[in-house]
């Protein structure tokens, strides 16, 4: 049997999602780009880069083999990698992505969200299209086994009537002072909420990555987006909570709830259909189907479907890297593309623009 080819990889960003979350004993591992790359026997990590010397020194304590760089421009000029993973802060996505694409790897893996704005996201898209470089976005729940089960189960719950999606975070929902960094929950974690709702509703969750066939994220899954309630913090323009209503071809009633400055982190999706229900999220995995009621003669009730089993591991990060390898092998398309990432970015930007419009009105 012929030995399968190994692919080389370079990591840009050795901070939290790039590296240190791999030491969190409570998280399902691998939980960082570095650990996920190293765990895949088909990948050889050859280089890593961080502009912060403290982070790079800490990284080197545990990772001796990759060549280290403090400037990704020098890395790209001296090192050729099949995969370039970008795990820097949102405000650095544009520059790092353009430089990575111009280095002409076989694949770029970009941490979510795509960019700080749709305008920046489209610049990344145009460069990738021009040079025909595929870009994968790490909206990790698209790769997770539990959400795959949920997507397959949706066909069993009848017509979707309502989706309630909720995010509770310690960050403010929106803070105009953090506009240039993206350090607010609507952008930082809300991207996961919007993207996974879109994923569950998509007829086709796989996009062609050949850019002549890309839709550039402008084919909406969620539409008619409207803020229905908003709470500002102490007469400021900082948002503590927000309710957003949207619609799609499959569901007329989509409700997104995002709260900030909560003293816990919560993430959950509730999909209610005419014949069943799905509740899924952090620590939540419940599937219900229509059965003859045990309480009322002649009625039906929802009962837990005992034939649906929670996976022992979601494999959210390892499945992402496996998808990258399978794509490079020519076996699979990319399951989270630049187009789907841009689609999510458009929704976030629409919500943010409405926040700005509302906040400009007299309190």
Q: Do 70 and 48 form a contact (C-beta atoms < 8 A)?
A: no
Residue 277 is predicted with a pLDDT of 98
Look at residue 216 and tell me whether its pLDDT is greater than 90.
no
Q: Which of 185, 316, 206, 314 is nearest to 256 (CA)?
A: 185
Portion of the chain with pLDDT greater than 90, in percent: 91
Give pLDDT tens digits for 81-128.
999 999 999 999 999 999 999 999 999 999 999 999 999 999 999 999
Residue 217 is predicted with a pLDDT of 72
Confidence grade of residue 1 (pLDDT, cut at 50, 70, 90): low
pTM > 0.75: yes or no: yes
Q: Do 120 and 45 form a contact (C-beta atoms < 8 A)?
A: no
Residue 239 is predicted with a pLDDT of 97
State the sign of the Cα–Cα–Cα–Cα dihedral 138, 143, 147, 150: positive
Q: How many residues does the chain have?
A: 363
Confidence grade of residue 360 (pLDDT, cut at 50, 70, 90): confident
Residue 4 is predicted with a pLDDT of 83
* Neighbour-count burial for 176-209, b at 16+ CB within 10 Å, e otherwise: bebbeebbbbbbbbbbbbbbbbbbbbbeebebeb
4 vs 56: which has the higher pLDDT: 56
Residue 363 is predicted with a pLDDT of 45
Look at residue 210 and tell me whether its pLDDT is greater than 60.
no
* Angle formed at CA 281 by CA 313 and CA 20, multiple of 5 degrees: 60
Q: How far apart are CA 291 and CA 33, in angstroms?
A: 43
């Amino acid at each position: 049997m012929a030995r399968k080819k190994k692919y080389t990889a370079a990591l840009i960003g050795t901070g939290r999602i790039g590296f240190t979350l791999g030491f969190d004993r409570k998280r399902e591992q691998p939980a960082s780009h570095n650990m996920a790359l190293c765990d895949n026997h088909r990948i050889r990590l050859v280089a890593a880069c961080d502009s912060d010397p403290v982070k790079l020194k800490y990284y080197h304590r545990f990772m001796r083999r990759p060549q280290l760089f403090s400037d990704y421009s020098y890395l790209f000029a001296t090192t050729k990698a099949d995969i370039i993973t970008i795990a820097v802060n949102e405000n650095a996505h544009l520059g790092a992505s353009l430089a990575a694409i111009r280095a002409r790897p076989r694949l770029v893996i970009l941490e979510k969200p795509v960019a700080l704005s749709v305008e920046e996201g489209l610049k990344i898209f145009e460069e990738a299209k021009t040079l025909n470089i595929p870009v994968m976005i790490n909206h990790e729940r698209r790769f997770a086994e539990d959400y795959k089960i949920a997507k397959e189960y949706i066909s069993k719950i009848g017509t979707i009537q309502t989706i309630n999606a909720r995010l509770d975070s310690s960050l403010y929902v929106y803070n105009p002072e953090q506009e240039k960094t993206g350090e607010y929950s609507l952008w930082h974690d809300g991207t996961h909420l919007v993207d996974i709702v879109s994923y569950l509703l998509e007829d086709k969750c796989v996009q062609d990555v050949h850019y002549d066939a890309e839709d550039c994220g402008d084919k909406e899954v969620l539409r008619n987006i409207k803020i229905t309630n908003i709470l500002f913090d102490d007469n400021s323009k900082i948002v503590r909570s927000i309710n957003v209503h949207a619609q799609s071809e499959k569901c007329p009633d989509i409700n997104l709830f995002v709260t900030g400055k909560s003293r816990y982190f919560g993430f959950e999706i509730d999909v209610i259909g005419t014949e069943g229900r799905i509740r899924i999220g952090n620590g939540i995995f419940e599937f219900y189907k229509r059965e003859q009621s045990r309480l009322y003669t002649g009625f039906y009730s929802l009962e837990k479907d005992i034939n649906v089993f929670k996976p022992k591991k979601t494999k959210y990060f390892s499945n992402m890297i496996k998808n990258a390898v399978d794509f490079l092998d020519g076996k699979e398309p990319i399951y989270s593309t630049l187009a789907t990432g841009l689609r999510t970015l458009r929704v976030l930007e629409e919500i943010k623009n409405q926040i700005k419009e509302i906040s400009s009105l007299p309190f």
